[in-house]
Structure 1
Amino acid sequence: MTKQHGNDFSASLENAANDIERLLEQLLSVKPVDGEIDRPQRIIDSMRYGALAGGKRLRPFLVIESAALFGVPRSQALMAGAALECIHCYSLVHDDLPAMDNDDLRRGRPTTHKKFDDATAILAGDALLTIAFDILSREETHPDPAIRIALVQQLARASGLGGMVGGQLLDLAAEGRFGTSPIQDERSIVHMQSMKTGALLHFACIAGGILGNASKADRDALSRYGLAIGVAFQIADDLLDVESDAATLGKAAGKDAAAGKATLVGILGIPTARERLARCVADAEAALAGFGDRGAILRETARFIAARNK
């Protein structure tokens, strides 16, 4: 899994990250939009701190590339991707809080609650969560209100109690919080991680099909791809927590084991986890077979997810 990624893929990933950064700069401005009374400066500052910290912008990249399969205008895919990135960034701001993962470092700098304070970080996360649905509801995202409603519904389900939030609760319970017993079996770990991490990645893939009003067969293929890379992403993340260091990751390393978190790496061991990771990539690539050469960048994305170093 050490393959170097081609220039086309690297350029596409970088261009998407730059485009999303510029769009988020515009969307998270201090100027109120129609229907708002005001945007307090401190909230804007903390939201921008949590959302404009750079990063790979993998989730919006997946929206952009899945939408490109169906000829969706890039501007529409960027809006949907920006909404998804706001959800992702809100989750990071809240996950870092003392009551959750209690992290001081994110992307090589102090976490939002360390830069500001706990209350401001909570509100910044709340605001990033809610503005995501504001963004999806705009005509710039898609002229068809039925498409916008479908995007809102699917992102709400991916990020809420049956997705990321529910998965985060299961993750805390797996540490033995709430008087629960730690998770010890593979099936429960996959179930938890498919909610906590996989649900947003899955949405990123199916969003392109929603935007492009794709056929059921194409939507199903993107769904299978999204499920496979969701598992791959988490295994790769867990391997990095074991094998990497804070300087490389830009956040604390080795915290999962110290916190007693349930991971596939912990259950299966590193060699078997790497085998499972390779199978996930193969499954993701197989799901894209029907798209032929059009799916090349998405196939490369699956390999990138498995081989990343941070």
Structure 2
Amino acid sequence: MTRQAAGIQVADVPQRNLAGRLAGKVCVVSGAGSVGYGWSIGNAVAALFAREGALIFAIDHKAKALEPLRGVVEGMGGRFSGAVTDATQLEQVEKAIAQCEDQYGRIDVLYNNVGGGKPGGVVEMTAEAWRENLDFNLTSAFNTSKCVLPVMRRQKSGALVHLSSAAGNAYQRQTMVAYAAAKAGLQQMSKVIAMQHVEQGIRSNCVIAGMIETAAILRRVTAGFGGDRLREVMALRNQVIPMGRSGEVWDIAYAALYLASDESKYVTATEILVDGGLATPQLGSYIDMALARDHAAGRAGAAHDGFVPSLSA
């Protein structure tokens, strides 16, 4: 069979956009600032989007938090604008999104990054703390989506990407009931948005983050254990991750970039796990522990000859 007869040729291969994977796309990044020294997931996503040709409209509740990002985006020759906005307040979000549409005439991508949680179970957590956590992690994304979707409906295109957490899928040893509930809710909200708008050219997906090393995490660990124990505690944190290390903010940013770009044009109502294997149950661990005890005691048995009991038995 000749190459031509096989029905494939070079011209069929999608061409790389030299201007970037998001060239000319207007991207709203909600929660684009950072609460500490160094990179946050939000400003990493915004910076990577800008590097790939996006026009960035950044939202954060503190003006000071946006200035370092402005410097990075403009330093790469990108276009940056934004609004100081509390994403939990619908009226403020409405003004910010109207400002973005007035400035650029369209909105192609919404990336929702706002989030964070406080520990506590149903009994220990106050009703006020419960509402605050849900507002911060879920209502914020509801507000931005509510305001951006009418713009995308008019243009019959758009992509929403929401940052969720492995806490929304499985118990994470530390009880954070409101955070977990909100992140699980965010994933389902994304699916509903996706299916409601599938015929209008609008997609909605989540990136589910595992344990990512961010400025906020380092700051929190330092506050809780002291700077002299930072590396020790982070090493312990890494031990619970199958890959043996925390993720980087860029790991999340690249997943978000894929979902925001046209490369994922057939992807909607789903999630991408970026967690180093954290969410995958390790059901065989009890066998390993039993074998280790046998070895320490000098015992041998069928399991040592390669027999492994059924995990469901």
TM norm. shorter chain > 0.5: no
Highest CA radius of gyration, 1 or 2? 2
Greater helix content: 1
Choose between structure 1 and 2: higher strand proportion.
2
TM-score (norm 1): 0.28
* Structure showing greater relative contact order (alpha-carbon pairs closer than 8 Å, 6 or more residues apart): 1
